[in-house]
Amino acid sequence: MANKRTLELWIVDALRDLGGSGSVTDVAKKIWEGHEDELRASGDLFFTWQYDMRWAAQRMRNSGTLGEIEKGSSWSTPWALA
């Protein structure tokens, strides 16, 4: 069953599929396309996964897995693998 930490792996996979960077929306679409069934079976995570995905990205930025984004950036600002 998927959990909040699983989202980090899925973010990396989505960004790789997108060529190393992509908007929050593009990453969410990739995750949904590849893991819809797992998300639907994940209990409460199904209702919070996009919110949790953003916190997972913050943890990944803090650890250096994702590059930093500019403060005040928009939804279209790409997330990028570091």
Instruction: Give the CA distances from residue 3 to residues 63, 67, 74, 78, 82, in Å, rounded to whole numbers and listed in that order.
Output: 19, 23, 26, 24, 23
In this predicted model, what pLDDT tens digit does every residue of 25-79 receive, in sequence order? Answer: 999 999 999 999 999 999 999 999 999 999 999 999 999 999 977 665 565 668 9
CA gap 22, 76 in Å, rounded: 8
Q: Report the pLDDT value the prediction gives residue 78, as an integer from 0 to 100.
A: 83
Q: Report the pLDDT value the prediction gives residue 68, as an integer from 0 to 100.
A: 75
Q: Report the pLDDT value the prediction gives residue 73, as an integer from 0 to 100.
A: 59
Confidence of residue 13 (pLDDT cuts 50, 70, 90): very high
